[in-house]
Structure 1
């Protein structure tokens, strides 16, 4: 996590859109998109094979030779490659358009022989960068599209590579799609829990001493929580839609596992909502503590001023240049032998008397 005094700058998010009036399904690559690379994973109950830096020829050669295949495309710059993938797996052109136009709201669309799922994952916690992941799956295939390198799928890959019995290789493509979506949802837990620990730490610091850096950090954390809420709520709706479907390529037993993922998303939403409430309360508490501290300072300054007002008055009266020889009414104390120490003692008595009065009134 960045230090509290560091202000994090967010890169502006701009969605790449086709030109106005373009035909539906028109694919236009973002100029900043990464180079496209393919990773092909082939699975059967008793074996698996992974082809790094796969080509379209590899996909064509194996797409019908294995019970389940997983094609992972990293980078969205190569539009002809994406169109060819869509042709091989008969992916709907409108869904492919949503793949390259990143920034989509999490959702699920059902087509005749495949489903299209859009989810978002936290790509960089410190930079507050989210990445769109598009998941297509049908009876025997799963195709994922990522914006850039780095994903939470390593546990799924390790499960595919593990020895028998292997539930992931023994089941159909819908179960693999569930495992990938579940990995994305679960990847939200570590950063959200880390943010919760940071909130607790700031609360402890505030109870010891509040400062302006804490307020800035609290506002940043609440802004992050609002962004998370905007991502998790539509993701929850998408998972619920995926569970309620009646398409043949999503089996009832897979829906049971998807329901568990839905529970995880609800738990994440509860955590974020709790953090938002805590952050709102801490911000209000910080304002109250700051106001109380300011009130204390003003109170002390007022008390000091009240103590010195009569002393200043006495010093002003005794400091007037009257001649006691002109008249007995002209400051006879000026000729007193112990006039100066007597004046100081009297002023000290007045000050101590005011302090005692303030303590008796419990103003000090």
Structure 2
């Protein structure tokens, strides 16, 4: 995961400049037109094919997956009167989640977190919502909004198809918001495994993984915190696009966003405290090692003194200061007995003091 992952224009570029990014993935356009009991789906080759659906008295959802090229984006901009700055934000990946109101349409940039194997990835999803249309641009080649499409396809699902485009916008934002829960669940499992490992067998590899996890949590907080603010702004704005009976659904979506931020903050605090656990575990392990070495050294100090005394070998038959033990018949076993007695006494003393 790079520290800086934003696609941007060169400084001094005119506002509204559209420059396509290089990618090997293919772009696909999926259109759903619905009203009441009517649901129609089409795979489109170009954006210009959407023109026929604009004249109908229905709701139109245009889903573009994969990297969108500048020509397709210009065609959509001319067809739906999309603002140049909003189109520029679509191509410039790494944008901060936000909500912009342009006359009779709403432009939203949302962040969808997901795991690509073992790597955290934050996908920028751009949404344009008007009175009877919604345009969603997602850089992923595989469509993550298939669950919403299945709900529209359900027979007699008038609860969805009879509502305005604001309910479809809620369904999309709800899916984007709730995509953070599986990611946080994975983070929780990782933190639990790291905590057990830090308490039992702290290693440098665990510390490296912990720093990587803290970095991912920080990046996730950076993108999800403004997304909560964007949802709050969307709920409080005075616009005819959001109907009163749909606000309760947006409030539920905002509630999920608040829960996610709270979980994220608690995980960040846990990761920070686990760093203290690692340092304490390493310090405790060092103290245990030093205690064992100190006990061994303390035991050998008197033993070294004993063998040092009897290793001087000062012996003279006429001197009263000579060592009489050197001539004893059981002198050598006596020294070994003294060494064993001193060792046993020290071990008993250490255990009595709970030092070992």
Fold conserved between structures, TM > 0.5: yes
Partner of 1:95: 86
The 1:323/1:206 distance shift into structure 2, 3 A limit, reads same
- Distance, in Å, in 2 between the alignment partners of 1:279 and 1:15 is 26
Unaligned runs of 5+ in 2: none
Partner of 1:5: none
Cα RMSD of the aligned pairs, angstroms, is 1.8
Mapping for residues 139-150 of structure 1, pairs under 5 Å: 139-150=131-142
1:288 paired to 2:280: yes
Mapped contact 1:324–1:335 kept (Cα < 8 A): no
The 1:66/1:124 distance shift into structure 2, 3 A limit, reads farther
Partner of 1:75: 66
Mapped contact 2:199–2:278 kept (Cα < 8 A): no
Deviation at 1:13, TM superposition (A): 4.0
Partner of 2:250: 258
Partner of 1:6: none
Residue-by-residue CA offset, 1:1-32 (whole Å, 9 max, x unaligned): xxxxxxxxx24644232233332111111224
Mapping for residues 171-186 of structure 1, pairs under 5 Å: 171-186=163-178
Unaligned runs of 5+ in 1: 1-9
Q: Which shows bigger deviation, 83-92 or 50-59?
A: 50-59
Q: Secondary structure at the match of 1:340?
A: helix
Give the alignment's TM-score, normalised by structure 1. Answer: 0.92
- Distance, in Å, in 2 between the alignment partners of 1:219 and 1:119 is 26
Partner of 2:220: 228
- Distance, in Å, in 1 between the alignment partners of 2:205 and 2:29 is 45
- Distance, in Å, in 1 between the alignment partners of 2:135 and 2:24 is 19
Deviation at 1:344, TM superposition (A): 0.7
Partner of 2:31: 40
Give the alignment's TM-score, normalised by structure 2. Answer: 0.94
- Distance, in Å, in 1 between the alignment partners of 2:14 and 2:34 is 37
- Distance, in Å, in 2 between the alignment partners of 1:221 and 1:20 is 33
- Distance, in Å, in 2 between the alignment partners of 1:222 and 1:20 is 32
- Distance, in Å, in 2 between the alignment partners of 1:76 and 1:112 is 27
Deviation at 1:139, TM superposition (A): 0.3
Mapped contact 2:115–2:183 kept (Cα < 8 A): no
Mapped contact 2:63–2:135 kept (Cα < 8 A): yes
Aligned residues: 355
Partner of 1:193: 185
Mapped contact 1:243–1:258 kept (Cα < 8 A): yes
Q: Secondary structure at the match of 2:128?
A: strand
Mapped contact 1:324–1:332 kept (Cα < 8 A): no
Mapping for residues 315-330 of structure 1, pairs under 5 Å: 315-325=307-317, 327-330=319-322
- Distance, in Å, in 2 between the alignment partners of 1:20 and 1:107 is 22
2:343 to 326, 348, 351: 351
2:239 to 247, 261, 264: 247
Mapped contact 2:65–2:143 kept (Cα < 8 A): no
